[in-house]
Amino acid sequence: MSRIEFEILKPQAALDAFAQTWQRTLAGDDLTPRIAFGSLRELFSAITEKRLELVRFIAANEALNTRQLAQAVERDYKNVHTDVRELLELGLLEKDARGRLTAPFDEIVIHASVRDAA
């Protein structure tokens, strides 16, 4: 099962995580893709409920283009196009040369610590 992890990290923790990831990459470790956000507000601004619905729909109905997706979910094309563009930038969707969309991950995991790491 392929997955991507989202984390809520303060700036210093994000830098530390980047350094650790860099070292593990140099060591040849196989890593789970991770994206860090500075706050839950930033995360939920990037991954809205409507965008998550699009990801789930594409996961179940791959090979649609953006126009077909908008028609299938009965949403305005312009809004779906904007959402798809953002999801492509985040890596939650991929588009082939013919414009067909796929969802590369089976699972999205969100980590939000309650306490700062010691």
Q: Could you report the per-residue pLDDT of 55-87, keeping only the tens digit for each?
A: 999 999 989 999 999 999 999 999 999 999 999
| Residue 65 maps to a domain | yes
Q: Is residue 72 part of a domain?
A: yes
Residue 118 has pLDDT above 50, yes or no: no
pLDDT value at 47 more than 50: yes
Tell me whether residue 118 is in a domain. Answer: no
Residue with tokens 């991950």: 105
What does the pLDDT average to over 33-40? 88
The more confidently predicted of residues 115 and 74 is 74
Residue 12: inside a domain: yes
Average pLDDT in the chain = 90
**Helix or strand run (H / E) with residue 4:** strand 3-8
Residue 67 domain-assigned (yes or no) = yes
| Domain boundaries, position 64 | 3-112
Which has the higher per-residue pLDDT, 96 or 111? 96
pTM score of the predicted model: 0.81
CATH number at residue 93: 1.10.10.10
Strand segments (E) across the chain: 3-8, 34-37, 94-95, 101-102, 107-112
Residue at 85 is within a domain: yes
DSSP class of 63: S
Domain contains 117: no
Position 117 confidence tier, pLDDT thresholds 50, 70, 90: low
Task: Kindly indicate the confidence band of residue 116, based on its pLDDT and cuts at 50, 70 and 90.
Answer: low
Domains of the chain: total: 1
